[in-house]
Amino acid sequence: MFSQFKKIIKPLGVLALLHFVKCDSSGSMTEGKSKVLTQNTFSEEVPKNNYFIMFYAPWCGHCKNLHPIWEELADMLNDSEDSRVTIGQVDCTVEKQLCADQEITGYPTLKFFKKGSESEASKFRGTRDLPTLTNFINEQISETPKEPSDKPIVNEGLVELTEESFEKYVSLGNHFVKFYAPWCGHCQSLAPVWQELASHFKTEEDVSIAKIDCTQHRSICQSFDIKSYPTLLWIESGKKLDKFQGSRTLETLVNYVSKMKGPLNKKADSPDAENASEVPVKPEPVVSLTSENFNDVIKSGTVFIKFFAPWCGHCKRLAPTWEELGTKLLDNKHGIVIAKVDCTQELSKDLCNQEGVDGFPSIYVYKNGVRTAEYNGSRDLEELYQFILKHKVESHDEL
């Protein structure tokens, strides 16, 4: 899936090389990307970031089996300057005192240290495959406390509100807010649709699409008398005007927002006003998939899918190119759908395992419900474009 690891260190002497090493199948040491930690560097480095650390012995068979996977994690995370997680390793045959301090009694032992701590850690106890390890990382990151801020976080048009930012943000203008709980199944099903809804309206200044987690910000949800999840409220200038009660499809939600913010009323004098009962939904360039809609989307035609994790550095770099590819093919006559699956979402974890995703990003072609190819080339827009066109043409030739 991934290209061979490139050597990232020029000969800078023995001490420099020791910071990037890995075990090969024979147990000898070669260059790698997992950061080596020692008794002298551990206390200084670990508090600087979230650290996922493998404590191992070079002679350990299970450690040797894990090393290639550990290096894939390091390749995805350690190259990115803004990565929230650093992948590290400690050789317990060398750093005996450090491993004793960490109460290491078996190999390999995997521990996740949250930023700011070198003593308290969560021990990984699952199977040592890439999807399980990445899910564990995502769970640890999501639990990392965030510093309170009165400025909301905006992701592709979707505004994430908190107790600190809510009141000020909704005090002016029109806001369609989703009150939810992460454990709620209906909320999880709505999540990709809500994100698409936000993307649809992200360039419009007279409305915002927002969400607030009621398990984290209870006081806000209590003030709006939220008793079930998800609850979708239309809020204007800080006051609740309406509660959405319709079906939670993208088309229905788009029409509801368009009606509530009033564009149809502005066109009342238009000759076509009587026929303007609905606002057409603009297709999104990249379709968000989960286990709930995956089979329906891939069952006919050609679908080019990116399986990714939000924290993955390679995935972040590919994201704008993938959107460009979707835009380029949006109005094409080839019938090609560009899609994506977030493998960290609860609704997608089993799907990613089922599809054999063992690294991020993984890019597959599906034809009439069957996976026909995997993309392993450079992540350049033109190469991706030519690749999927070629596979579309080949699919027709095979018929």
DSSP state of 275: G
CA distance 150 to 148: 7
Active site residue 184: yes
> Which among 118, 32, 29 is positioned nearest to 78, based on CA atoms?
32
- Here the tokens at position 158 are 């979707």
Q: How far, rounded to the nearest angstrom, does the alpha carbon of residue 305 sit from its chain's CA centroid?
A: 14
Residues in the chain: 399
What tokens were used for 229? 């999840």
Residues 6+ apart with CB under 8 A from 272: none
Of 92, 99, 187, 214, the active-site residue reads 187
DSSP 284: P
Q: Are 220 and 176 in contact (CB under 8 A)?
A: no
Identify the H or E element spanning 187.
helix 185-201
> How far apart are the C-alpha atoms of 239 and 229, rounded to whole Å?
20
DSSP 183: T
Residue among 23, 63, 315, 352 flagged as catalytic = 63
Q: Crossing angle of helices 313-328/381-398, nearest 10°?
A: 60
Amino acid making up residue 224? F
For residues 250 and 196, the answer to whether their CB atoms sit within 8 Å is: yes
Per the DSSP assignment, residues forming a β-bridge with 90 are: 55
SS3 318: helix
Tell me how far apart the alpha carbons of residues 9 and 17 are, in angstroms, rounded to a whole number: 7
- If one counts every other C-beta atom within 10 angstroms of the C-beta of residue 318, the result is 20
Distances (CA, A) of 242 to 207, 213, 256, 259, 262: 15, 20, 11, 12, 14
Q: Is 99 one of the catalytic residues?
A: no
Structure tokens at 31: 């260059």
Q: Among all residues, which ones are annotated catalytic?
A: 60, 63, 184, 187
